[in-house]
A = this chain, B = another copy of it.
């Protein structure tokens, strides 16, 4: 069974050495009293919960899966999931970054982000139960009526109730404008909602006493398409005026999907048969409210693959040090043993270092972005809020797509390190690969992310946000211009920055002629910009490591080696990506549909 050790040292590096989060957070109203010791202590405890409580039920949860009783429509989560969730609630973990006005602890989102990385490493399927609640919490916090907030937010904050996002229907996923679920207004101001939803993560289970479904549906007079969608709150159990649970609402789990991975999470088909709901936000403005959930979810999905990358790396390293097989080509390295540990082989190291660099790069990018999110939510300076918000919007699709694509590569490499054993369930490595695969699909496929980045976030404002981010990179390069030891990092970074500028302009020009050029370029483009962000953060990390490399702390030696590996072996992927991006639309459209 896989083991997991929370990467405290690297998290602390990212928070306190790379990002100076305490200084930044202290400037924000509500976080004046934050200090490093508090953050570290919370994460130490959170890491223990992840490693000791939910990691041990990950493999068994995958093997067992969820069970639906078709008669009662009740779902039982795998053995141990309910008990672990009870501990989670008793420990106050759901409240970490929630609003104190509703019982939350009011810690920065940043702390929650690092906490969730560890939960995801330990057990992605389990973590999705509380994870989905956050989306529901955010949507209600932003758009709920005072009554909805008073009734539901304290229960979501405490974790007594969980939440879901009921968006997808059999005929529409990406294209929510096609959805058919109907909401009929009732005399008492509520709505009766009827329809069928699929792919509802954590959609039904036995871990909490109530489930708060947020459901997209159409009002009778709604315009067609995405401008006619409204958001409704539909509880599993109706809630009495005193807050106690009332009658069972007519929203049921009609089936569970058999999936490639995340078996421990109940992916439910949800049927609404005149279920009672209340409107969240304004009529026909449901997509805007939904995007509050969705943006949080996309950062969360990147974090899932970051977690899987880290845990896959840790286990593959342990195996590579332990497993002896063949001799190094350059001669025996463990002559006292019948063969060398496989970590002596350069390609095994390459697979391990790829996962390591993707984990460290992803952690820096996620940490940076969530720090901007805290600023966007809390700063008392409107300009700072707006600027931070734009940067989060720019980086969110990169986090979602780049980190999950990397997670798929990394978990597959780590599985490969195990040879045949990697394919066997009991080692746990193939589960990481299967679990990682969904992250490239849900909450907007990675193609959708790339269109969001290139079409909306970059070309949509003539590259203004990207240019602002680029100025931060340029300033850093400028600072290090005379630092000889930094040239191996800043030169390729500067070179890539120039190429990104040029590429962006080229695509913009071509897109004016044919908008499909955006669709042809977007996926490659996102990976190029993703690499630019990783290169920027690795260069910053290298600067710190160079300054401290004589400190005697081997952490900095390792950080420098990882940064060098990244620049030598991963960043050059951009050479191909820029070429294929530039090859444009024509090679994709030459074949008539009938000839496929």
The chain A residues found within 8 Å of chain B, CB to CB, are 63, 168, 172-175, 177-178, 198-199, 257-261, 317, 320-321, 324-326, 328-331, 338-339, 341, 343-350, 352-353, 356, 408, 412, 415-416, 419-420, 422-426, 430, 433-434, 437-438, 440-442, 445-447, 450-451, 455, 514-516, 518-520, 522-523, 554, 557-558, 561-562, 564-565, 568-569, 572-577, 579-580, 583, 585-596
CB atoms of A260 and B419 under 8 A apart = no
CB atoms of A422 and B447 under 8 A apart = no
Set B416, B441, B558: member contacting A416, Cβ < 8 A: B441
Residue of chain B at shortest CB distance from A325: B175
CB atoms of B516 and A329 under 8 A apart = yes
Q: Contacts of A344 on B, CB cut-off 8 Å?
A: 593
Set B339, B558, B565, B579: member contacting A588, Cβ < 8 A: B565
In the bound assembly, the distance between CA atoms of A522 and B199 in angstroms comes to 42
Set B346, B416, B589: member contacting A346, Cβ < 8 A: B589
Q: Contacts of A415 on B, CB cut-off 8 Å?
A: 437
- Taking A174-B325, A568-B587 as known contacts, 17 extra A-B pairs with beta carbons closer than 8 A to each other, sorted by chain A number, are A328-B516, A329-B515, A330-B514, A341-B593, A343-B593, A344-B593, A346-B516, A347-B450, A347-B519, A353-B588, A416-B446, A423-B437, A554-B594, A561-B595, A574-B576, A575-B579, A576-B576
Set B178, B423, B585: member contacting A261, Cβ < 8 A: B423
Shortest distance in angstroms between A559's beta carbon and chain B's nearest beta carbon?
A: 10
Q: Contacts of A350 on B, CB cut-off 8 Å?
A: 520, 523, 588
Set B320, B575, B591: member contacting A353, Cβ < 8 A: B591
Interchain residue pairs A-B with the least CB separation, the first 3: A568-B587, A260-B430, A346-B519
Shortest distance in angstroms between A85's beta carbon and chain B's nearest beta carbon?
A: 24
- Which of A172, A425, A519 is most buried by chain B, counting CB atoms within 10 A of its CB? A519
CB atoms of A591 and B575 under 8 A apart = no
Q: Contacts of A325 on B, CB cut-off 8 Å?
A: 172-175, 178
CB atoms of B329 and A455 under 8 A apart = yes
Q: Contacts of A430 on B, CB cut-off 8 Å?
A: 259-260, 437
Given A346-B585, A416-B445: A426 touches B258 (CB 8 Å cut-off) = yes
Q: Contacts of A258 on B, CB cut-off 8 Å?
A: 63, 424-426
Set B441, B446, B595: member contacting A554, Cβ < 8 A: B595
CB atoms of B349 and A589 under 8 A apart = yes
In the bound assembly, the distance between CA atoms of A422 and B572 in angstroms comes to 31
